Amino acid sequence: MRSLKSGILAGMAALALAAAPAFSAPGDPVAVIKKKDAELQRMLRDKEASKKTDRLKVLINGIFDFEELGKRALGPATWKTMTPDQQKRFVKAFREMVENASVKKLEVYQSDSSTYEAPEVTDGKANVTAHVWSKGTESVVTYKLLAKDTTWKAWDLVIDDLSTARNYGEQFRKILQTSNIDGLIAKLEKKGNGSAGIKPADNLKSKSEKAPAANTGTVKKAPSTTPAAASTPAAVPASH
């Protein structure tokens, strides 16, 4: 009888494991980014684009999970000390600050072409690296993504080795040395409203602001062939 019960339990366990859905990534992360970027480039070529502020905000920053980006920039220890209301206010103010900053530098997001490396995908996480060209200058952009709901969302953007999450994290920690969470949120809210406060991250500088490459005797040039759908990273601006 005991062995019969054991056999039944083992069979039930096997059925349960078979029925449990394995993790299913929400499609190709490169395709998600390419689609966003193609939409953004089409809009930037529109002479009336600067008047479509809300749409531009969505296209430029729609790939980001602002809660995850903010949480990681603050650090899990600091995030856990915040009340749900503080967390909600922080994410809202952070999003508004970044979105408002992004539409003030539209030239930053224009590019001539881009190519993508094969993505690195593991258990709901993905890294996508893009090589973005503008006027003969190359930027290497890595999106760090998490599977969220039915798509991929970015929690960090690394542009030419400069991390957006790390950049904001350094600013947040500096402010928290002399202030508290409510003081930090207030600064974000002021910046979102156009007042002085946090410096928007800006590793994605205006092309004219980029420092010249180191003198190695060679100059990077744009590829001779341009992809049909030229694109640039849909990204938060990141700091000088």
**Where along the chain do its domains lie?**
26-204
pLDDT above 60 (res 119) = yes
pLDDT score for 51: 78
Lowest mean pLDDT among 18-32, 76-90, 112-126: 18-32
In angstroms, the CA 95 to CA 92 distance is: 5
Task: Using the structure block, give the residue that is written with the tokens 């350094």.
Answer: 170
* Nearest residue to 33 via CA among 64, 57, 5, 68: 64
Token reading at 94:
């952070």
pLDDT score for 223: 39
Of 129 and 17, more confident: 129
Residue type at 98? V
CATH number for the domain whose boundaries are 26-204: 3.10.450.710
pLDDT digits (tens, 9 = 90+) for 130-146: 999 988 899 999 999 99
pLDDT digits (tens, 9 = 90+) for 76-110: 999 999 999 999 999 999 999 998 888 888 778 88
pLDDT score for 147: 94
pLDDT digits (tens, 9 = 90+) for 29-77: 999 999 999 999 888 888 787 778 888 888 888 899 999 999 999 999 9
Of 172 and 193, more confident: 172
Strand partners, 120: 127
Strand partners, 121: 126
Q: Rounded to the nearest 5 degrees, what angle is found at the Cα of 161, between the Cα atoms of 113 and 38?
A: 25
Token reading at 84:
């749900």
